[in-house]
Structure 1
Amino acid sequence: MGVRTIARDQEPISQDIVGYLPTINSPATELNTVFEILKQSELIRKELHLETIVVVMDQALYAKAAERTWKHREWFPNILLRMGTFHTICNALAIIGKRFRDAGLKDICIEAGVVAEGSINGVLDGKHYNRAVRVHRYISEALMRLAWEEFTPWVEKNAPERSGMIKSFLEDVKDMTSDLNQEKMTNLLQSPLSAELITLWTYFLEHLRHNNGELSGFWMSYIDMVEDVVLCLLRASREGDWELHLHAIRTMIPWCFAYDKMYYARYLSPYFAQMTNLQEKYPSVYEAFKAGQFSVQLSNNNTFGRIPVDQAIEVTVNKDTQTPGGTLYIF
């Protein structure tokens, strides 16, 4: 069982039900298909007596639906469009691969044996989702372990009076790991020692980003992209943390501009603006999202097991029909 699940053992679980809607026998790329999705969504909203209905789409469909709703705002005022988090993560993985592929990341993955040479391009392009997430998690953790080895010497040099505090905190962590649970984890993270250590660690990371040479800053940007975008989007979905989701989206937008992901750059910007104003325009949706209802809980025993809506479609409808990409969905 993962540490995240153990550390959230007191969280309540409410398993979601995935309902299968009739498929639309028409190419997804056609505007008429998108318009039909919006019409059917509005009919479902009325049938269920909902104030607002949320429709989740990947970027290609979202772009067409957004253009239609922006042009004719009076047609579907009660439909809220969301860009699928799963496909957004895939795009973030592709950006990371594009930035670091030829800087040594490709060679590291192959020589370390975490990816076969024949699969590395698919991983770095963000097409092999599970393998890509696993690889970047491994590489990010390896870099953080190297940074941690230098952290104590840095503290002894720059703040020697606090080195004893670090040793005391690490002893507490070591004692706790044999019997980890959510209460103990919360108490440890809220302790004064934890706050002081996090402050020192933050200063040290800033030192690595800006005062330790260009190479150090470059690879710190890798850690930042993996942790602040990919892993934050994953954690936000799994924990149902809406504010963390918005933080990751905001962090990702500049990288989309920098690496010519123009479709995501164009549509993530208004998406972020709309999502940050939900409390004013769609208060009921905002309360639902704050409660974690922007991702799907398929398991009845995993407290860290929520997944993005568009990924839920991949592992349910598309898996059952065995036609990946061939089932057009409304959710």
Structure 2
Amino acid sequence: MGFFQFVFDNADFNVATISGHNTFHSMGGIGCVTPDSGKSRHTINRSTKLVKADVTGEFGENYERTRIEILPFINLQPTDPSSIYTALNFSRKQSSLHGMKTCFVTFDQPLNAKAIEIVASDEILQGVVVRMNGFHLLMSFMGSVGYIMGGSGLEVLWESVYAPASVVHMMTGHAYVHALRAHLLTSVALFTFMMTEMEDKTKESLLALHKAIIGQKPVDLEDEKVMQTLIEKNQQRIKTEKERSQTRRLWLNYMEQVSLIKQFIYAERTGDWALHLNSIRQMIPYFHAAGHLAYAKSARIYLQQMQALQTTMNETEFGKFTKDGYFTIRRKDNLWGGIISDQSIEQNLMRLLKISGGMTRGRGITDSSLAMLVHAFPYCIPIC
């Protein structure tokens, strides 16, 4: 039996670009089935040339890939409670048809709050669990980091590489790809600067461990002791550096925030449920500090609901969702093949509505062509 979950998002597009009227309001959705049984109604054979394993190397084990099905559009205002109820009820029925007692549905933050209220007030939907939108949560967290680091010189540093107009969006977390790469590179640069002040013996131990990890060699007990000693030394050094000046404290805190970003991505990519919850728990104080109160509130409610899952879910389903990592969407059957659930709908549905041939290209759209697109997309997108 497959494990089903559903993701819904706004599909609002201004299809009449000249007048600004007759905007297309709808809610798009996808159904995610793990493992991919290969029984999709949309199948097309294609030849692929794969790189041999002896070239790339192997790490870990094979993981179950997820099949993504495009659901029919709900042609109503996405913020209308009727639209949300329709999506919830449809997901519940589909999960029930496939033998699942618990139905997972993901919405973005504004719809998430309304969906939780609807589920709490309707006995029919008691088996439905509303999940947090991790992709937009991560964007909001990067915006929180940018707010906290405002005026620190981070913008000036980034402007030496990126255009100033782009840096404005990167600091708010909206330019996701650029912002993520900039945070990672800045963190590496700061760590490299810290390395220059380390003892030679500590550097040698770090390099030896790095080579062992890159070479995928088994780590023996002696190496584990060395690693533990390095961690303890590093924590003590960070504590000492924070006490030396406020500037050092600011940038060391920034490195911890970037580490939290990497930790969250690692949890989603590998399907580590405990790390996923722990990452969100550590993000909440930063949401409060930056004034992102909507995500601070939603994240806290989400944690409370997820911690109570074990008492309400079927044991088999709970094991698949948490231990087997089915909470994430896997595009590939390897360790690093998972993506965040609401990121999958952006990649598989929303992106194709905006590219050439989609709804937003051209000088306008008629009712007949709009109807054709809405009904054809669920069948055309999997082939594309």
Give the TM-score range, shorter chain.
Answer: 0.7 to 0.9
2:227 is equivalent to residue 194 of structure 1: yes
Instruction: Quote the Cα distance in structure 2 between the aligned partners of 1:131 and 1:279.
Output: 38
What does residue range 54-133 of structure 1 map to in structure 2 within 5 Å?
54-70=104-120, 72=121, 74-111=123-160, 113=161, 115-133=162-180
- 2:349 is equivalent to residue 317 of structure 1: yes
Please say if residues 195 and 203 of structure 2, whose CA atoms lie closer than 8 Å, have aligned partners that are also in contact. Answer: no
1:204 aligned to which of 237, 248, 268: 237
Q: Say which of 204, 212, 215 aligns to 1:180.
A: 215
User: TM (normalized to structure 2)?
Assistant: 0.73
1:243 partner SS: helix
Alignment of 1:1-331 (within 5 A): 9-70=59-120, 72=121, 74-111=123-160, 113=161, 115-152=162-199, 164=201, 166=202, 169-170=205-206, 172-173=208-209, 176=212, 180-181=215-216, 183-184=217-218, 186-187=219-220, 191-209=224-242, 211-228=243-260, 230-282=261-313, 283-287=315-319, 288-300=321-333, 302-322=334-354
Q: C-alpha offsets along residues 17-51 of structure 1, whole Å, 9 cap, x if unaligned? A: 11111111112111111111111111112211211
Q: Is the 8 A contact 1:126 1:132 kept in 2?
A: yes
In the aligned structure 1, how far is the partner of 2:114 from the partner of 2:307?
Answer: 22
Specify the code of the residue in structure 2 equivalent to 1:136.
Answer: H
Question: Which runs of 5 or more residues in structure 1 are unaligned?
Answer: 153-162
How far apart, in 2, do the equivalents of 1:311 and 1:218 lie?
Answer: 31
Assess if the C-alpha contact under 8 Å between 1:151 and 1:201 holds in 2. no
Query: Partner of 1:198: helix, strand, or coil?
Result: helix
**TM-score w.r.t. structure 1 length?**
0.84
Q: What is the identity, as a one-letter code, of the residue corresponding to 2:241? A: L
Change (3 A) 1:143 1:14: same
Q: For the structure 1 residues 272 and 7, does the alpha-carbon distance in structure 2 shift closer, same or farther, using more than 3 Å as the test? A: farther
Q: 1:24 to 1:195 in 2, by over 3 A?
A: same
After superposition, the C-alpha distances for 1:43-93 in whole angstroms (9 at most, x for unaligned) are 1122112110111111111111012223x1523111111111111101001
Letter paired with 2:96: K
SS in structure 2 at match of 1:286: helix
Secondary structure class of the residue paired with 1:294: coil
Pairwise CA RMSD: 2.6
Cα distance in 1, alignment partners of residues 255 and 210 from structure 2:
25
- Paired residue type of 1:322: K
Q: In the TM superposition, what whole-angstrom CA distance separates every residue of 1:242-261 from its partner, at most 9, and x where no partner exists?
A: 11111110011111122211
Count of aligned residue pairs for this structure pair: 304
Unmatched segments (≥5 aa) in structure 2 = 1-50, 361-373, 379-384
Cα separation, partners in 2 of 1:171 and 1:271, compared to 1, 3 Å? closer
**1:186-244: CA deviations, max 9, x gaps?**
448952111111111121122223x221111111111111112x211111001111111
8 A contact 1:232–1:248 mirrored in 2? yes
**SS of aligned partner of 1:68:** helix
Structure 1 residues 20 and 167: CA distance shift in structure 2, 3 A? closer
Q: What is the rounded CA distance, in whole Å, between the counterparts of 1:212 and 1:33 in structure 2?
A: 55
Q: Which has the larger radius of gyration?
A: 2
Contact 2:148–2:289, Cα closer than 8 Å, also in 1: no
